[in-house]
Structure 1
Amino acid sequence: MPMSIPAASAEPSVIAPQSAAHADIPIGIRLHTTQPASHALQWLATHQLGHLIQHQIGTDAQGPWQQFWLPCVPGAGAQNLDTTALAQTLGLSPDTRDADLDTEILAAMLLSPLGFQFPSLAEWQSAVRLRRFIVQAGRRTVLAFDTEEAERPDCWRWTEATGFVLLPGHELIPALQAALWPDVSGRLYSFSCYRATEHVVLLGLAQELQISNPAALAALQAQWQRKAIQSEAFQNAFLYEYGSLQTPLPSHYYVPGDRLWFRNPDAVSAGIEGYEGSWVFYLGQGRFTNFWKPNQAYTLVSKCVELYHWRHGVRTDGPSGQPWMDESIIEARVAETLADAQATQAVLQRMMRLRDPAGIYAEGGCIDASREAVRCVHPQTFGLRIAA
């Protein structure tokens, strides 16, 4: 039996586009709770944001709500919202201080151009902590890129019917850490970028459930002892999407812990398996995960330039006659472009455009309209779809 799923109001979502009659209601975070707003304000004050926050209370069809937002942050901009310099602007050190990483996450959420909704303050707090776990897991993850083969430590077993499942006697969190972190296992394991992001999400989720919902962690572990949840089923079970092609997020708006996709806008190179696009996490401080090269996180510029040059790495002279990608050519082209400010700007003018719809390769760039985050985790407002 699936674990009980609450009403739709318990799932994180974004605030619907405002009508003219409600244009005065700001964006940011909306809580549907009967708790006093002072509880949230006290929490925000512990993260150096209390003096910057504005808030409002009201009632809608779901009952009482409280809304919190940052009216502006220097450098973030109002029209072309940019969160990539938040840590620097606010004087934070997210790499060394958990509290500063939480503050960067909170500030980005409170600047949301669409607005997040949570059914309780506890869910908002868990969402921030969960994003922190994902960022920290993403920083340490180093893998070997492979779309054909996959490897895991000996606490995992693979079958075609189940995918990689846990062997008896092994716990989910340390097993995931061993698969993802070479400083734990002593070696690199082979992953595709999409499967890698699933494992990072799963690790962050398990760490949060250990705190907020141990029974759900037990259910998660039991699930991975039976069968791995993967691909679209994984997305449907654990994640929700915010932003769309109809209401796209700004090209520089990211919240640390977001899972997102950069699309390859070149039809030819996108036909090579593994090069359709690139799944990454936003780590904060203007950086995105690079699972393949330790200590070489991407910036928005370097990621766009790399994806642009995938078109130049296509080769057809292999023994199979099938197209393949020459990474050495891509690396040389990327270095050449990044060393030339004019060439970099020319690439960005194309790549920083919003992506085309699925199946279309026209004038779009590599920027997706949406981001992904994890559903609600607390017992009273549970939104994950896992079997008990």
Structure 2
Amino acid sequence: MTLPRIAVDAMGGDEGVRVMVEGAALARRRHSDFKFLLVGDSARIEAALEHHPNLRAASEILHADDVVGGDELPSKAIRRAKTTSMGLAVNAVKTGAAGAAVSAGNTGALMAMSKLALRTMPGIDRPALAAIMPTLQAHDVVMLDLGANTEADARNLVQFAVMGAAYSRIVNGFEKPVVRLLNIGTEEIKGTEELREAAAILAEATRAEGLALTFDGFVESDKINRGETHVVVTDGFSGNIALKAIEGSARFVTDLLRQAFTSSLRSKIGFLVSRPATELLKHHLDPNNHNGAVFLGLNGVVVKSHGSATAKGVANAVAVAARLLENKLTERIAQDLAQLGESALRRPARAPSAAAARSGESGAGGGAA
């Protein structure tokens, strides 16, 4: 199929134009059918394109005078959506000038601009930020929400599960991905009321509605990367903490190995012997190989690249955007939501807590938890 062009915020990220253009050029070399709308300072983009004639032939430049700062408040940035490279890249998706947008800029600003310009899909209350992470198995795990919503009720979590499953079917090829809710334990009685309620809705919906997912209860954070779960669902507060803990652990392991292998001559010899294994580990833990988080639930495709991503990482984020376009992500989510039905998302009557039950038994009057 002929893919729509991809709008790239060329000014976003820690190094801006150079890395973003190099990443788009690498993506173009890997996929000759990719076409781009490069948004930002036209003079700087033109200068960068001199080193990438293949990309130049497949790109159009949209000039933007302004750039969203990395620490800028979303409420401030959103007022300049019509003049910034980020805002114009997102707007290109809205107008149909591009099929998807990729930015390595301010996450909060990108979320705010995307939600305002593209709006949420029918049946979705809040968009969620989803990313893929490596596991011990051959497949990756999809995790959401990773920071778009600090709080999420049961209805939100169910919608996240449907969206995450649709995403997993595209990136991993599973017909019915295994979905679990992140919790402090796997027992049914564990966790917040919202988690237990979402679990009840998903369990009933997968039995009655025939959704293209397999709900399998709860998962603890230490099992996220085991590969036993295809989709991990949580609120953005917990998800962001878990993601950064996993990334920090990966950096800790690689730094620890580096120190160990350079501590003595004997260690250096050991490194040479084990180098094939350590290179494989390095490749597996390199965040650039899994770069490209997606705002799910919008009427359009927006991909967030890590601000510190290399050209390889940017190329992978572009490839994520193209793959979602090719596999019609938004249409898949809409179909699954229709299959789920609004009735399944209506809150069931909440069971009274143990304290409330005891209060009712004593004649003091009971209430829902």
Alignment TM-score > 0.5, same fold:
no
Q: If each structure's helix is expressed as a fraction of its own residues, which one has the higher value?
A: 2
